[in-house]
């Protein structure tokens, strides 16, 4: 029995693995909060038909579902790099850089899971707007009142479903994170990247241990989020 668990103990004794575990949990927690806020706001915006820029916003949000992650990560690297159009603006106005940093890892996870959160909320709001929204309008409610007090309180299940899907996608993100985060040991390497590094180095025992660890963390968080969504 001790020999069976020895690889787990040896892997967990590695300070780099413990940092990757902590970073993964931290990124996941921040991403869930960002997804909840963006999911409600963008889901409502896309549920409103026929306004300028709606099709462009919808396409941008859907892009991570159809575009290869590594290619999307490269595009974001070009945009937010030090010489990129958005990266240079960010550096000049805030003296900050998104690439090769923890905020870049968070942004990568956010982008990867965003469409999986927004789309269920959008579908729920479109359905509710056709029924409850019309009733609220006949009662004299304004659009912002309908959004805040009628639509958003009734999309909790859709939001919970989207957050679970987005969480799973962001936890397993590699391609975009590899481009934006840089896979820097002790700085931007998540558990998913640690698994990638272990397989690339041919250390399959370490890869198995990290896979079990990542899977365990994901299942525990999934269970808690599922319970919260049911309530």
Helix-, strand-, coil-residue percentages of the chain, each rounded to 5: 80, 0, 20
Tens-digit pLDDT profile for residues 58-108: 999 999 988 999 999 999 999 998 888 888 888 888 777 888 889 999 999
The reply to whether 213 falls in a domain is no
Is 206 a domain residue? no
Position 222 in a domain: no
Gap between the Cα atoms of 119 and 163, Å rounded: 11
Q: How crowded is residue 202: how many other Cβ atoms within 10 Å of its Cβ?
A: 8
Prediction pTM value: 0.86
Contacts of 145 (CB under 8 A, 6+ apart): 136
Q: Using pLDDT thresholds of 50, 70 and 90, give the confidence band for residue 37.
A: very high
- pLDDT grade for 34, boundaries at 50, 70 and 90: very high
Residue 47's pLDDT band (boundaries 50, 70, 90)?
confident
pLDDT of residue 228: 60
> Is 47 strand, coil or helix?
helix
**CB 76, CB 180: distance < 8 Å:** yes
Please report whether residue 159 resides in a domain.
yes
Q: Is residue 230 part of a domain?
A: no
What is the pLDDT confidence band of residue 133, given thresholds at 50, 70 and 90?
Answer: low
Say what the pLDDT of residue 108 is. Answer: 93
Q: Is residue 216 part of a domain?
A: no
Query: 85-94 and 69-80 helices cross at what angle (nearest 10)?
Result: 50
10 belongs to a structural domain:
no
Question: What CATH number has the domain bearing residue 67?
Answer: 1.10.3720.10
Residue 4 has pLDDT above 60, yes or no: no
Where in the sequence is the domain holding 54, given as residue range(s)? 25-188
Find the mean pLDDT for residues 119-139: 74
Q: Judge whether 197 lies within some domain.
A: no
Mean predicted lDDT score pLDDT of the chain? 83
Could you give the CA distance from residue 158 to residue 123 in angstroms, rounded to a whole number? 8
- Is 173 in contact with 109 (CB distance < 8 Å)? yes
- The number of folded domains in the chain is 1
pLDDT above 90 coverage of the chain, percent = 21
């Amino acid at each position: 029995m001790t020999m069976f668990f020895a690889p787990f103990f040896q892997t967990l004794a590695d300070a780099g693995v413990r940092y990757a575990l902590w970073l993964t949990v931290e990124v996941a927690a921040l991403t869930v909060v960002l997804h909840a806020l963006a999911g409600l706001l963008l889901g409502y915006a896309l549920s409103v038909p026929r306004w300028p820029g709606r099709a462009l916003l919808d396409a941008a949000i859907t892009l991570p579902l159809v575009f290869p992650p590594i290619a999307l990560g490269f595009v974001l690297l070009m945009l937010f790099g030090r010489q990129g159009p958005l990266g240079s603006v960010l550096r000049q106005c805030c003296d900050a850089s998104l690439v090769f940093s923890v905020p870049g890892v968070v942004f990568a996870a956010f982008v990867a899971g965003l469409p999986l959160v927004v789309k269920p909320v959008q579908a729920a709001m479109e359905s509710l707007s056709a029924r409850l929204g019309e009733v609220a309008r006949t009662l004299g409610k304004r659009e912002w009142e309908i959004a805040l007090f009628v639509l958003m309180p009734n999309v909790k299940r859709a939001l919970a479903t989207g957050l679970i899907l987005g969480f799973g996608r962001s936890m397993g993100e590699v391609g975009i994170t590899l481009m934006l985060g840089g896979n820097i040991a002790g700085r931007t390497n998540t558990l998913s990247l640690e698994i990638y590094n272990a397989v690339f180095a041919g250390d399959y025992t370490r890869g198995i241990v990290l896979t079990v660890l990542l899977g365990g963390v994901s299942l525990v968080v999934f269970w808690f989020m599922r319970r919260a969504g049911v309530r």
